[in-house]
């Protein structure tokens, strides 16, 4: 087993010891925010953007984590440096978790008292990527679930929070429909919102369309995808997209930190476009791979091979 360490409120502790109390508000209410950044070639990708979103999420839920964003960035780099010998030359996640800490009813029962808990962990992406490696060539299957996106006026999905039961319910529904299918959430008006861990794009007549950023998490990879498309001279618009648009799209894809960008070749059991990864998708994947110096789809394939013997 790897001897990774976790940043824990200013100290570094062995990963197996990084546990929150049953009295922590995170466990009681899902009352916490988080971030997941990844590396390419063991260098963080858009870390500052992830931290800016983390601080916006903290502000939304009114948690003062006690660190400035610069201090959080330094703590992140120190966590990575301390773990590098244990990360086997692989690319890895960098996860920031901030809980509100224990409620005052239980303050004497918890080592940290009522202070928020800030933790940062690192973990190779072997299993994350192995699980989706096939999709880069065959494409994912997106299905609409009865579970909808939570409207921003309830719990704003722009804040990356762990009150995620609705995403899990949607995942369970999707998997009941077909093993491996991925859930697509609509908003309360019936327009496409997002996946349960990803943002959605489609292409029509050479133009890229993506849902308006209201009832969604504004993904860092979503922004990266927009930036690469623009660099390639491809127009991108944020618009209301309904299921009919997805069904008749030339191409559909999703973006998220672990896998960057994945093609969607089936939507609600029907073929999307030509049923293979599309041309615009492929150009963006190539630009992304070149920019980060990692062949993203090939890496996923390598990690699939590795996952047969590798354990976290």
Ligand X SMILES: Cc1ncc(COP(=O)(O)O)c(C=O)c1O
- Residues contributing to the site for ligand X (CB under 6 A): 36, 194, 196-199, 217, 219-222, 255-257
Q: Of the two residues 4 and 160, which places its CB atom closer to ligand X in the complex?
A: 160
Residues 253, 67: Cα–Cα separation, whole Å: 36
CB 280 within 8 A of CB 251: yes
In the complex, minimum distance from the CB of residue 233 to ligand X, in angstroms, rounded to a whole number: 23
Task: Find, among 119, 96, 123, 118, the residue nearest to 39 by Cα.
Answer: 123
Q: Of the two residues 102 and 133, which places its CB atom closer to ligand X in the complex?
A: 133
The DSSP-derived string for 201-246 is EEEETTEEEEE-SSSS---HHHHHHHHHHHHTT--EEEE---HHHH
In the complex, minimum distance from the CB of residue 182 to ligand X, in angstroms, rounded to a whole number: 12
In degrees, rounded to 5, the angle at the alpha carbon of residue 265 between the alpha carbons of residues 264 and 266 is 100
Q: Of the two residues 36 and 264, which places its CB atom closer to ligand X in the complex?
A: 36
Q: Of the two residues 219 and 277, which places its CB atom closer to ligand X in the complex?
A: 219
In the complex, minimum distance from the CB of residue 32 to ligand X, in angstroms, rounded to a whole number: 14
Q: Which two tokens stand for residue 270?
A: 């029907």
Q: H or E element: which one contains 58?
A: helix 47-61
In the complex, minimum distance from the CB of residue 17 to ligand X, in angstroms, rounded to a whole number: 26
In the complex, minimum distance from the CB of residue 23 to ligand X, in angstroms, rounded to a whole number: 26
Q: Of the two residues 5 and 150, which places its CB atom closer to ligand X in the complex?
A: 150
Residues 204, 70: Cα–Cα separation, whole Å: 41
Pair type for strands 182-186 and 192-195: antiparallel
Q: Of the two residues 101 and 211, which places its CB atom closer to ligand X in the complex?
A: 211
Contacts of 211 (CB under 8 A, 6+ apart): 191, 192, 193, 194, 199, 200, 238, 239, 240, 241
In the complex, minimum distance from the CB of residue 114 to ligand X, in angstroms, rounded to a whole number: 28
Q: Of the two residues 44 and 257, which places its CB atom closer to ligand X in the complex?
A: 257
Q: Of the two residues 100 and 222, which places its CB atom closer to ligand X in the complex?
A: 222
Q: What residue number has its CB nearest to ligand X?
A: 219
CB 159 within 8 A of CB 35: no
In the complex, minimum distance from the CB of residue 10 to ligand X, in angstroms, rounded to a whole number: 26
Residues 268, 181: Cα–Cα separation, whole Å: 9
Task: Find, among 100, 54, 60, the residue nearest to 76 by Cα.
Answer: 54
In the complex, minimum distance from the CB of residue 14 to ligand X, in angstroms, rounded to a whole number: 26
């Amino acid at each position: 087993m790897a001897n990774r360490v976790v940043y824990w409120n200013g100290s570094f502790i062995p990963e197996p010891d990084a546990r929150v109390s049953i009295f922590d508000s995170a466990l009681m209410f899902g009352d916490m925010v988080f971030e997941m950044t990844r590396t390419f070639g063991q260098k963080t990708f858009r870390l500052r953007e992830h931290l800016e979103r983390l601080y916006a999420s903290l502000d939304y839920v009114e948690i003062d984590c006690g660190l400035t964003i610069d201090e959080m960035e330094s703590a992140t780099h120190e966590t990575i440096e301390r773990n590098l010998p244990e990360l086997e030359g692989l690319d890895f996640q960098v996860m920031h978790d901030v809980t509100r800490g224990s409620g005052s009813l239980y303050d004497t029962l918890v080592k940290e008292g009522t202070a928020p808990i800030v933790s940062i962990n690192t973990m190779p992406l072997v299993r994350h990527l192995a699980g989706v490696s096939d999709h880069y060539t065959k494409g994912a299957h997106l299905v609409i679930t009865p579970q909808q996106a939570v409207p921003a006026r309830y719990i704003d999905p722009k804040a990356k929070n762990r009150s995620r039961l609705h995403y899990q319910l949607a995942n369970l529904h999707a998997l009941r429909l077909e093993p491996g299918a991925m859930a697509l959430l609509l908003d309360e008006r019936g327009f496409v919102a997002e996946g349960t861990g990803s943002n959605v794009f489609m292409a029509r007549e050479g133009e890229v369309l993506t849902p308006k950023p209201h009832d969604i998490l504004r993904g860092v990879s979503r922004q990266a995808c927009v930036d690469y498309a623009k660099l390639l001279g491809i127009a991108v618009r944020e618009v209301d997209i309904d299921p009919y648009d997805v069904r008749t799209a030339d191409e559909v894809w999703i973006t998220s930190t672990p896998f960057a960008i994945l093609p969607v070749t089936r939507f609600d059991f029907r073929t999307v476009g030509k049923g293979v990864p599309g041309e615009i998708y492929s150009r963006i994947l190539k630009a992304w791979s070149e920019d980060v110096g990692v062949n993203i789809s090939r890496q996923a394939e390598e990690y699939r091979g590795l996952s047969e013997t590798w354990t976290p």
